[in-house]
Structure 1
Amino acid sequence: MGVRIVPGPAELPPVVLLHGVTWNAALNFHQVVPALAGSRMVVLMDHRGHGEGLPGAGPYAMEDLADDVVAVLDELGISRAVLVGFSLGSLTALQVAARRPDRVAGLVLTAGCLAMAPGRVLRAALWIMTWLLSALARVGAGHMIAPRYFGLNRRAPSAEFARAWPWIRRQLEANDPRFLAPAVRAALGHDLRPQCALIARTPTQVVVHERDALIPAALQWRMARELGADVVSIDADHEAPLSHPELYRDAVVAAVAALGATDAA
């Protein structure tokens, strides 16, 4: 399984970074890791079907992704961790908190929601995306979907982004497109509203992406209210880790710091 460890003090719970669909942990948190390094042990984990994660062929559910996280904690001998998630990673972190709250010291949820239930038009678009991913994967052309989308969707172009784009593109192209559609289907089945009271027992910080077109900010704010979480609001789109990396980094680092020493790992 694709796991990378950045050592840190043993006194605080480690931070586990969980990335979004079509990305990997190194790409998603490329600015966050250096900022957290030295303050806590940091674990970067690639989801199944992404980066260097487990093969993700065949259908699976969000519960399976949550079980993958617990398996990594077991393998590393980590009793409890702070889970930091982006998009699919936030949904996964919520699932872990619902299934194994004893393993979660805190949550930092960015661009996430309790239920992936957007409007009918957006939901239909996501199902079309899964069909397109599957169809292009069958003919060997799926590797270009994510690079094409993010290359065209740079809402905050900058010289820094232009310099980083060759590396970003390589990271996006590295995912096996056969394994991406199951991840989107799993996310569409995500609904933890019935477990909200249980999850709310875990200290939580929410980073709201105010201009998010994929998971609307209203859903992110609703999640924060229902979990009783503190909020860090950023004026950014869904792709903030790439389009506004410094803004995203500062928000995540502030949220982790706000959790404080929730208890010993």
Structure 2
Amino acid sequence: MHVERVGDESGRRVLLLHGGGVAGWMWRPLRAHLGPGNHLLIPDLPGHDRSADEPYRSHERVLSSLSSVLDEDGDRPATVIGFSLGAQLALLLAARRPDLVDRVVVISAQAKPSPAPGLTLGLLRSTAGLARVDWFARLQAKEMFIPAELMGDYLRTSRAMTSSNLVAMVGENIRFAIPDGWSRFPGRALILAGSLEKPFMRSSAELLQRARRSSSMEIVEDAAHGIPLQHPQFLAKRLERFWDS
């Protein structure tokens, strides 16, 4: 799994976990607004961009790889920030490896299984090849709020995504449920969802907050399923307050 390391190695450790169908490059707008003093760890998750040759087998396998990244990088706990698919992985890290995580930011995580996953995945198998077609990928990019300066990165990532990786990743995503250890996570937690997201996503945020009452939950106004790309300056400021609290 490819991991980019950016910033002051002695600074605050921050693991940034991207959403499905994009890659570590999705965090560039946020990085432009973050202050100094951070040591950023930015993986391309299996099946994505520079990790396209690594199969996406399961959340559990990716969790093991991410734990190894943090174990090998140093002995200080990290802030883990995840978006969508990456937010589910952030929840798993906080729940299973709280020794590695002192703060977690969960952005737009689906936290309850979808109904009829078999039907969804069957339809996905029949259309998965469209992700590698430029005109379709450009339509998807608009829905995902990909800015013009990142369009080349998005198209490259889409072309490299195999049907098997896409189906495996989405299967894990739509079957996801709140992990057992989440309610016992001892660190600080911030849960974000957009006011314009589907009700299913906002209710997932509420479920996560109820499962761990000490978490902070916020609905971000004028945001859909794309807070880091839609509102990177807002997110950077909110993270600074989160770190200072």
The normalised TM-score by structure 1 is 0.78
Counterpart position of 2:6: 6
Question: Which of 72, 76, 79 lines up with 2:76 in the alignment?
Answer: 79
**One-letter identity of the residue aligned with 2:43:** M
**One-letter identity of the residue aligned with 1:233:** I
Question: Which of 201, 204, 209 lines up with 2:189 in the alignment?
Answer: 204
**One-letter identity of the residue aligned with 2:175:** G
**One-letter identity of the residue aligned with 2:137:** P
- Counting matched residue pairs gives 242
Does structure 1 conserve the Cα–Cα contact (< 8 Å) formed by 2:52 and 2:160? no
Counterpart position of 1:250: 233
Is residue 131 of structure 1 aligned with residue 132 of structure 2? no
Correspondence 1:27-106 to 2 at 5 A:
28-36=26-34, 38-53=36-51, 55-57=53-55, 60-106=57-103
SS at match of 2:99: helix
Counterpart position of 2:180: 194
Deviation by residue 1:236-257 (Cα, 9 ceiling, x = unmatched)? 2113444x2xx2x134323422
Q: Which runs of 5+ in 1 are unaligned?
A: none
Aligned CA distance change for structure 1 residues 183 and 197 (closer, same or farther; 3 Å) = same
SS at match of 1:73: helix
Counterpart position of 1:22: 21
Counterpart position of 1:114: 111
Does structure 1 conserve the Cα–Cα contact (< 8 Å) formed by 2:209 and 2:215? yes
**One-letter identity of the residue aligned with 1:85:** G
Does structure 2 conserve the Cα–Cα contact (< 8 Å) formed by 1:66 and 1:92? yes
Question: Which of 223, 237, 254 lines up with 2:224 in the alignment?
Answer: 237
Is residue 153 of structure 1 aligned with residue 152 of structure 2? no
SS at match of 1:65: helix
Aligned CA distance change for structure 1 residues 3 and 162 (closer, same or farther; 3 Å) = closer
| Structure 2 CA distance for aligned equivalents of residues 80 and 95 of structure 1 | 15
| Structure 1 CA distance for aligned equivalents of residues 54 and 153 of structure 2 | 24
How far apart are 1:149 and its partner, in Å?
4.3
Deviation by residue 1:72-127 (Cα, 9 ceiling, x = unmatched)? 11232253110000001000011111111110010011001433x24x37x56642
SS at match of 2:133: helix
The normalised TM-score by structure 2 is 0.83
SS at match of 2:206: helix
Does structure 2 conserve the Cα–Cα contact (< 8 Å) formed by 1:114 and 1:193? no
| Structure 2 CA distance for aligned equivalents of residues 124 and 236 of structure 1 | 30
Q: Which runs of 5+ in 2 are unaligned?
A: none
Moved over 4 A (4+): none
Counterpart position of 2:202: 217
